[in-house]
Structure 1
Amino acid sequence: MDQFTINIIFVGGSFMLYVAIAIWARAGTTSEFYAAGRGVNPVVNGAATAADWMSAASFISMAGLIAFVGYDNSTFLMGWTGGYVLLALLLAPYLRKFGRYTVPEFIGDRFYSQTARMVAVISLLVMSITYVIGQMAGAGVAFSRFLEVDATTGLIIAAAVVFAYAVLGGMKGITYTQLAQYCVLITAYTIPAVFISLQLTNNPIPPLGLFSTHVESGMPLLAKLDEIVQELGFRDYTSNHGSMLNMTLFTISLMIGTAGLPHVIIRFFTVPKVSDARWSAGWALVFIALLYLTAPAVGAMARLNIMTTIYPDGTDSQPISYEERPDWMRTWEQTGLLAFEDKNNDGLIQYYNDASPEFAAIAAERGWEGNEMVRFNNDILVLANPEIAQLPGWVIGLIAAGGLAAALSTAAGLLLAISSAVSHDLIKSTINPNISEKGELLAARISMAGAIVVATYLGANPPGFAAQVVALAFGLAASSLFPAIMMGIFSKKMNTAGAVTGMLVGLGSTLLYIFTYLGWFFIPGTNMLENVPANWLFGISPLSFGAVGAALNFIAAYVVMNMTKEPPEEIQELVESIRVPRGAGSAQSH
């Protein structure tokens, strides 16, 4: 059986499963569409949350960024997992106790203001649309390779699948679909990693294999990788080369951005009790850890495999010829995501750091005229990994299904957050408060369909790699929604004027800073946390500015709060009741 047929079987089979689940779990009420009827088991919700969370950025892009940058990009792992601790301890149980459907609804009710609710809607839409671009772009990458279609056609197919199960099932259908998608994606991610770890280190556990001995050389695997990259003029893999300020701010931005993501927060509205919200977050961390502990090993081992593929003898003296390049290179070249250029017409593939002064002299002696791997899209590394390691065809088909499951699961969650904000927070609360439940459900489905169209269009023209685009979304969530939610729960004195001012200052300053440096920000292969432009404010990367935006949000909110009238007494009592640590009810029920 040829590889294309195997891919069709795995991908098509998974799609049929998702649609079948959506039909089985079709939402019939607004409660089921927005919150799955608040009856989801915490373990199931934990797995669904993990799938909702582990997007194309986690599955497809993160290991690629770690592979080609190294230790510096461990910030993705630290920030994203740390954010779930914040979410479990500081937000999830209190928001579930409040008993609302959406984040803007909480902010509007807590700050007794339609203006606050609308600012939250704007913040949610800006963040979620930015985030969903990365998911659709990741789906396009996977489709372009495994179904042998162009990226635009792949996006349309992905959009059709999401439409079939998200519009039909709402949160109820998405929850059980995401449970299935988690099983698919974690299996697809770990099986190739186990095979490759065994090949390179004889250790079947990838996180332990990362620190084991490289079988062929007898050296520690990371030491061998450091040796090879340094021989080719690249910086050593295991050291920090970026700004510690940026690493710290970026980690904080990812942490508080995670805790402020609306599509993740609304998952905790689906469980029956407040205590279940904490358990859901705990289970989500367990399920997420299975992939996140594996990702550094995948990145390091794939980078080593790529190096030794081009330089089979383990030194930089004799690269392979272009005609002898392996099949996986030929296949991925057809997608346009991998490209070579024979700059000196010698028929060999020279892959080295042509910006390295130390290696420039060696390259000149050999007649090399520059790095001939002129393009290697970071997003292809995990998807190409089984082919690089020459694993069986069924593993390649599995990784295809897993990559698409990761992209589509998060896309569905984001699209639900967007449609809920439009139908529940905009149409029902502002435009037509008297709309019937049936009318609101129809509006939610139409909003979802419209969001899918917008996401597909933007996904066809993404501004960067999946993880880069997603990191922008985290900065926006960190600077706008997270401070407002935190102050809404833990500050009885925070009022409408303070919260609205804080959100506008946080969101506005972060957007301004990001777009000021947008031209540099998406240069392929750039270490995003290095101090490259001299005119960065205090050397802060656009990726790291979400933490600064959050600080500005808090400061502006408290300054304005102290200059304006206190919240009504009933609001202060409501905040106090939310913070009661035990209880299965909600401060106010729908």
Structure 2
Amino acid sequence: MDTQTIVSLLLIFATFGIYIGIAFLTRAKQTSDFYVAGRGVPAVWNGMAIGADWMSAASFIGMAGTLMVLGYDGLAYLMGWTGGYLFLAMLLAPQLRKYGKYTVPEFIGDRYRSTTARVIAAVATIIISFTYSIGQLAGSGVVIGRLFEIDAAIGTMIGVVLIGIYAGMGGMKGITWTQVAQYIILIVAYLIPIIFISLQMTGNPLPWLSYGDVVGKLGEIDQGLGLSEYFMPFEENTKWQFLALMFTLMFGTAGLPHVIVRFFTVATMKAARWSAAWALVFIGLLYLSAPAYAAFSRFILMTQVAGSPINQLPAWTNSWIDTGLMSAADGNGDGILQWSELVIANDMVVMATPEIGNLGIFVIGLMAAGAMAAALSTAGGLMLTLSSSFAHDIYYRVFRPNASEKKRLTVARWSIVIAVVIAGITALNPPGVITQIVAWAFAIAGGTFTPTLILGIWWKRSNTQGAIWGMLAGLGGSLGYIFLSNYAGLSTLGIIDTGAGIFGVTAGVLTNVIVSLATEEPPVDMQEEALDMRYPEQMTYKNGEVWMDDESVG
């Protein structure tokens, strides 16, 4: 085992010790701790936890690689995810916090007063969380596989064990504070390499200001090779796919149950709004850096690797070739590696950057620790959300309403263990790259939940039948298009599987509205509940008036 691997492992094990220690010290002792961290998390720390929960392996590991491969067309990921987060923060998070539930299925079940709606929402949450977690576990496999120069599948199973320990022990309370630590680690790990690469290549330590010059040079290199320029739009996908992907990610973001539940952990609507504001700051640090990673890495690969004699490639390439995420073969037999003969997996670009820039063993190890933090933080939140949907919304609220608190916590913990093992086995042979798998989860969330939540808050006429059939139509529309596109080659206007959400959301909205209008109007008190969510916590809507401090104000 070389020095680099030893240093990387020491850093990763040190961070693992921090996570497990935090989970132990803050372990859940009652139901409210397990599901919503006792509703006592300060806004700034909750914003940091949201940032860690949000910036998954797809963001940390896959985003820059996707931008490097797709160029302009990859910006749909950045715009969709960021725009969707604003959508969630403005139109859903504070209102859902005022309603005061533990989970998204619980909100839907109580808002529409329907056990059927609750169960459908719980099943959809399990599907979304399971799909999303496959990408995170696959990401952990990439990191550990590179460290040990072993198959990524073994690394995936190591991640499974870690998540099962700290998610099952700490619940939401433990995961919240673990995610705060994970955010600090992942953002430091993400920023240090790109700052040093920027300093090396441009003399400017601010990559956000310097990478534009590198993009211009990439355009010149592309012209010389007869390639489409890196920053030209709609070269990899059609305009309709770009828009559909952005739409899918935006509406999917607003419906992600594991992100929404984070806003249930604060004390007030005001704290929920401030959590959203702080989270946007913390998320922006990474998202503004991903394009710089893409540009710098592509430039180095095109100028220092491509064009080199096949037997004189940089030493770092050997390690990545061993992982199966990179291949370099002299296809035309001229002894020189051409750009077209170099195949780079999206998911290795960020992880390889410290080695590409020769930044030293400590930075390489720090990057590995950060990547693991990103993958584990989101996977932990997903597993808890999946567990909550089963243990709270199905087991407790439907089948065992008299179950003791101890029994409910036991079921919740075991459901995490079982779910993470099944997801880990699936991740051994993932059905796509990380960003693709994550896009599927967003499509399902957008089609199933976003129309139901938006209409449930902002349209008092939405009724139980509309919600039930709307969720089924949205879930079926998204899942159906994903399978038909991915496995049967279906393409409508060039829209592929990652843009499936546009069909699911459309089906969900239309079905909810049409069925609600065609069936009986909701009871007056149900409509007043919807109106009440729109007002600040000190105000209550009842009997056709707004009340504050026990006095009518409208």
Same fold per superposition (TM over 0.5): yes
| 1:402-481 aligned within 5 A | 402-481=370-449
* Partner in structure 1 of residue 534 of structure 2: 579
Mapped contact 1:97–1:584 kept (Cα < 8 A)? no
Q: Deviations over 1:318-362 (max 9, x none)?
A: x2112211111011111111122222333321223xxxxxxxxxx
Work out which of the residue numbers 268, 277, 281 in structure 2 matches 1:282: 277
Query: 1:585: how far off?
Result: 9.6
* Partner in structure 2 of residue 152 of structure 1: 153
How far apart in 1 are the matches of 2:533 and 2:330? 65
The one-letter code matched in structure 1 to 2:428 is: A
* Partner in structure 1 of residue 457 of structure 2: 489
How far apart in 1 are the matches of 2:154 and 2:168? 21
Work out which of the residue numbers 452, 463, 467 in structure 2 matches 1:499: 467
Aligned to 2:76, what secondary structure does the other structure show? helix
How far apart in 2 are the matches of 1:274 and 1:237? 44
Mapped contact 1:274–1:585 kept (Cα < 8 A)? no
Query: 1:229: how far off?
Result: 2.3
Aligned to 1:440, what secondary structure does the other structure show? helix
Residues 1:303 and 2:258 aligned together: no
Aligned to 1:537, what secondary structure does the other structure show? coil
Query: 1:539: how far off?
Result: 3.3
Mapped contact 1:97–1:586 kept (Cα < 8 A)? no
Aligned to 2:49, what secondary structure does the other structure show? helix
* Partner in structure 1 of residue 339 of structure 2: 351
Mapped contact 2:387–2:413 kept (Cα < 8 A)? yes
The one-letter code matched in structure 1 to 2:318 is: R
* Partner in structure 1 of residue 317 of structure 2: 329
Aligned to 1:323, what secondary structure does the other structure show? coil
Change (3 A) 1:540 1:447: same
Work out which of the residue numbers 496, 501, 516 in structure 2 matches 1:561: 516
Query: 1:570: how far off?
Result: 1.9
The one-letter code matched in structure 2 to 1:229 is: D
The one-letter code matched in structure 1 to 2:275 is: S
* Partner in structure 1 of residue 552 of structure 2: none
Residues 1:142 and 2:135 aligned together: no
How far apart in 2 are the matches of 1:191 and 1:13? 19
Query: 1:565: how far off?
Result: 1.1
Stretch of structure 1 that moved more, 83-92 or 567-576: 567-576
* Partner in structure 1 of residue 171 of structure 2: 170
How far apart in 2 are the matches of 1:88 and 1:29? 28
Mapped contact 1:8–1:147 kept (Cα < 8 A)? no
The one-letter code matched in structure 1 to 2:425 is: Y
How far apart in 1 are the matches of 2:288 and 2:300? 20
Q: Deviations over 1:153-195 (max 9, x none)?
A: 2112111111221100000000000000000100000000001
Mapped contact 2:43–2:266 kept (Cα < 8 A)? yes
Q: Deviations over 1:483-519 (max 9, x none)?
A: 1111111111111111111111111011111111113
| 1:149-228 aligned within 5 A | 149-211=150-212, 220-228=213-221
Change (3 A) 1:541 1:110: same
The one-letter code matched in structure 2 to 1:6 is: V
* Partner in structure 1 of residue 130 of structure 2: 129
The one-letter code matched in structure 2 to 1:203 is: N
Change (3 A) 1:201 1:495: same
The one-letter code matched in structure 2 to 1:386 is: P
Root mean square deviation, CA, Å: 1.6
Residues 1:271 and 2:302 aligned together: no
How far apart in 2 are the matches of 1:51 and 1:64? 19
Q: How many aligned positions are there?
A: 539
Aligned to 1:473, what secondary structure does the other structure show? helix
Query: 1:152: how far off?
Result: 2.0
* Partner in structure 1 of residue 120 of structure 2: 119
Aligned to 2:327, what secondary structure does the other structure show? strand
How far apart in 2 are the matches of 1:452 and 1:272? 30
How far apart in 2 are the matches of 1:288 and 1:345? 46
The one-letter code matched in structure 2 to 1:167 is: G
Query: 1:39: how far off?
Result: 0.3
Q: Which runs of 5+ in 1 are unaligned?
A: 212-219, 312-318, 353-371, 521-532
Change (3 A) 1:478 1:135: same
How far apart in 2 are the matches of 1:490 and 1:123? 22
How far apart in 2 are the matches of 1:568 and 1:469? 40
Aligned to 2:19, what secondary structure does the other structure show? helix
Mapped contact 2:149–2:322 kept (Cα < 8 A)? no
Query: 1:128: how far off?
Result: 1.2
Aligned to 2:414, what secondary structure does the other structure show? helix
Aligned to 1:579, what secondary structure does the other structure show? coil
Q: Deviations over 1:249-274 (max 9, x none)?
A: 22121111111100000000000111
How far apart in 1 are the matches of 2:539 and 2:155? 45
How far apart in 1 are the matches of 2:128 and 2:35? 19
Query: 1:582: how far off?
Result: 4.3
Change (3 A) 1:132 1:395: same
What percentage of residue pairs aligned between the two structures are identical?
Answer: 47
Stretch of structure 1 that moved more, 379-388 or 555-564: 555-564
How far apart in 1 are the matches of 2:383 and 2:422? 10
Residues 1:61 and 2:62 aligned together: yes
The one-letter code matched in structure 2 to 1:326 is: P
Residues 1:342 and 2:330 aligned together: yes
* Partner in structure 2 of residue 255 of structure 1: 250
* Partner in structure 2 of residue 369 of structure 1: none
How far apart in 2 are the matches of 1:141 and 1:539? 31
* Partner in structure 2 of residue 320 of structure 1: 308
* Partner in structure 2 of residue 244 of structure 1: 239
Q: Deviations over 1:186-240 (max 9, x none)?
A: 00000000011111111111110112xxxxxxxx321111111232232101110
Mapped contact 1:99–1:586 kept (Cα < 8 A)? no
What's the TM-score, normalizing by structure 2?
Answer: 0.95
How far apart in 1 are the matches of 2:278 and 2:529? 29
Q: Deviations over 1:106-155 (max 9, x none)?
A: 00001110111111112111111111110011110111002333222211
Aligned to 1:339, what secondary structure does the other structure show? strand
Aligned to 1:21, what secondary structure does the other structure show? helix
* Partner in structure 1 of residue 108 of structure 2: 107
What's the TM-score, normalizing by structure 1?
Answer: 0.89
Aligned to 1:130, what secondary structure does the other structure show? helix
Query: 1:543: how far off?
Result: 1.6
How far apart in 2 are the matches of 1:120 and 1:395? 43
Mapped contact 2:108–2:117 kept (Cα < 8 A)? yes
Change (3 A) 1:336 1:539: closer
The one-letter code matched in structure 1 to 2:196 is: F
| 1:18-29 aligned within 5 A | 18-29=19-30
Q: Which runs of 5+ in 2 are unaligned?
A: 543-554
Change (3 A) 1:586 1:83: farther
Mapped contact 2:258–2:382 kept (Cα < 8 A)? yes
